[in-house]
Amino acid sequence: MLVGHSMGGFVARAALVHPGLRKSAVETILTLSSPHQYPPVALQPSLGHFFSHVNEEWRNGYKKGVSHTSSPKLSNVVVVSISGGIHDYQIRSRLAALDGIVPSTHGFMVGSSSVKNVWLSMEHQSILWCNQLAVQVAHTLLSMIDPVDRQPFLSSQKRVFVFAKMLQSVVPQSLSWMNHVSGSQSSNFLASDTREAGELQRNDTLFCPPSVLWTSDGLEKDLHIQSNLVTVLAMDGRRRWLDIKKL
């Protein structure tokens, strides 16, 4: 899994179609305010040609070959692009879009203020350290890991499902294909993993106490713990215990 900011996101995509990279070495890419369509500033013609070359490789990477016997080169690769929004004057949303490069079955773009639990638009640098987004992105990446073998989910559809569930406040029209996945099937994407995670919780005392109940729809709801004490991460980086009743 690669996470890239600005040109780093495009470099991650360029590396994926480099002939020297081992196949399946990277199957998930998350970009933050990265230009995908064309360079934000055309400093020299070679940069524009390089963008065109990489994007053409990606388009071909999702197409089936003449033989139809082998799967496309990028058939298992998922890409999600997070744009800064109206305050990002360097990389506008149209540059961060994946339209015509990555099919909607394998990725999407979302604006920062449209991400779950995030209500701020970000400029080009602050997208790296805005706590609202950093927490949600970290939680999303951890949700990509299979609790049994501790590796990212193999299924590209499952990874797109987790990305959409964790990042999107509303499923956009471009992901309408997900509606064809039955409700029971989509919930089973995560329900089976929740049962396996439950086994790990019972065998490991470092996990949350058994009084905390985890369900398959836990990603959509806030965690409710019946207790007066809560711990808060303050701006100075220290954790503090607060008693709700006393407050």
Q: Can you give the residue ranges of every domain in the chain? A: 2-172
The pLDDT value given to residue 170: 57
What is the C-alpha to C-alpha distance for residues 207 and 201, in angstroms, rounded to an integer?
Answer: 5
* DSSP character string of 6-37: THHHHHHHHHHT-TTSPTTS--EEEEES---S
Position 201 pLDDT exceeds 60: no
Q: The dihedral of CA 51, 55, 57, 58: what is its sign? A: positive
The pLDDT value given to residue 17: 92
Q: What is the mean pLDDT of the chain?
A: 79
Position 123 pLDDT exceeds 70: yes
Using one digit for the tens of pLDDT, what is the confidence trace for 16-73? 999 888 888 899 999 999 999 999 987 888 999 999 999 999 999 998 765 555 678 8
Do the beta carbons of residue 91 and residue 40 sit within 8 Å? yes
What is the C-alpha to C-alpha distance for residues 4 and 101, in angstroms, rounded to an integer?
Answer: 17
The pLDDT value given to residue 171: 57
Whole-structure pTM over 0.95, yes or no?
no
Virtual torsion, Cα 212, 158, 35, 117, nearest 10 deg: -20
Of 177 and 169, the one with more pLDDT: 169
CA count, 13 A, side-chain hemisphere, 54: 22
The pLDDT value given to residue 23: 81
The pLDDT value given to residue 228: 74
Catalytic, 83? Answer no
- Helical packing angle, 183-203 and 156-167, nearest 10°: 90
Of 163 and 237, the one with more pLDDT: 163
Using one digit for the tens of pLDDT, what is the confidence trace for 89-104? 999 999 999 999 999 9
Of 191 and 149, the one with more pLDDT: 149
Residue of 6, 83, 156, 186 marked active site:
6
Position 173 pLDDT exceeds 90: no
Using one digit for the tens of pLDDT, what is the confidence trace for 104-115? 999 999 999 889
The pLDDT value given to residue 238: 73
Position 163 pLDDT exceeds 90: yes
Position 174 pLDDT exceeds 60: no
Contacting residues for 109 by C-beta, under 8 A, at least 6 apart: 80, 81, 82, 83, 93, 96, 97, 98
